[in-house]
Amino acid sequence: MTGMRFYGKASAACVELRHTDSGANDIAIRTLIDRCYFDGLSTGETGLESHGCYDVWVRECVFRLWNNAGNTAAGMRVTTTPLAIPYRNQIVGCIFDDSDNGCIWPMNGGIVAGCYFNPVGYAYSMVQVLNTSLVANPGDDNQVVANYFGGDYSIAGGYRGGAADEWFGNASPDIAEAEVADNGWTILPPT
């Protein structure tokens, strides 16, 4: 998919990437989503949802205005069925802002590079900003580099990486955190 605009649905994802179903007729592995706009319309649940598809590339997309009454809406989200963790996904050059949550994408061996994460938007603030690993759904071995991380660079601030992830060379204004050098570059995953 290239250059498309998707509008938020109140109780479903705009785009759902399935690994397989009972009829094995909706396999979305090796999908490329490029230069798309995911507009939550202030009532949308999820922009892009994956059920564990591997080798998915999401490049230069915008995720904005994802909001619902429970503050659980998200620009991108991985669900746990039928696979728990996607492998080798690449999220490159995307913008996440003005939403309840940004990118909740636990994965293994993936890349998040050159993205902009703004947890405090004009209308909404993010609970989870970028998660490449969740407690119940642990991701690992990801490269998270050359991104902008606004706000509190910590787990409490909405950033969570896997135990063997590398989160180096990202810009963050939160130099009070030990994981951010005095020059504003991340040197460790958030804690």
pLDDT tens digits, residue range 129-172? 999 998 777 889 999 999 999 999 999 999 999 989 999 999 99
Task: Assess contact for 68 and 75: CB atoms under 8 A.
Answer: no
pLDDT of 85: 84
CB 6: neighbour CB atoms within 10 A?
A: 20
Report yes or no: 66 and 44 within 8 Å, Cβ to Cβ. yes
Count of helix runs (H) and strand runs (E) in the chain:
0, 17
Tokens of 168: 């180096």
pLDDT tens, position by position, 80-120: 766 768 899 999 999 999 999 999 999 999 999 999 999 99
Residue 126 pLDDT exceeds 60: yes
User: In the prediction, which pLDDT does 95 show?
Assistant: 98
User: What contacts 69, CB < 8 A, 6 or more positions away?
Assistant: none
Q: Mind listing the pLDDT tens digit for each residue in 41-88?
A: 999 999 999 988 899 999 999 999 999 989 999 999 998 766 768 899
pTM: 0.94
Which residue ranges make up each domain of the chain? 1-191
pLDDT above 80: residue 20: no
Residues recorded for the chain: 191
Exposed/middle/buried for residue 81 (C-beta within 10 Å: 0-12, 13-18, 19+)? exposed
Where do we find the tokens 């040197």? 187
What percentage of the chain carries pLDDT values higher than 70? 95
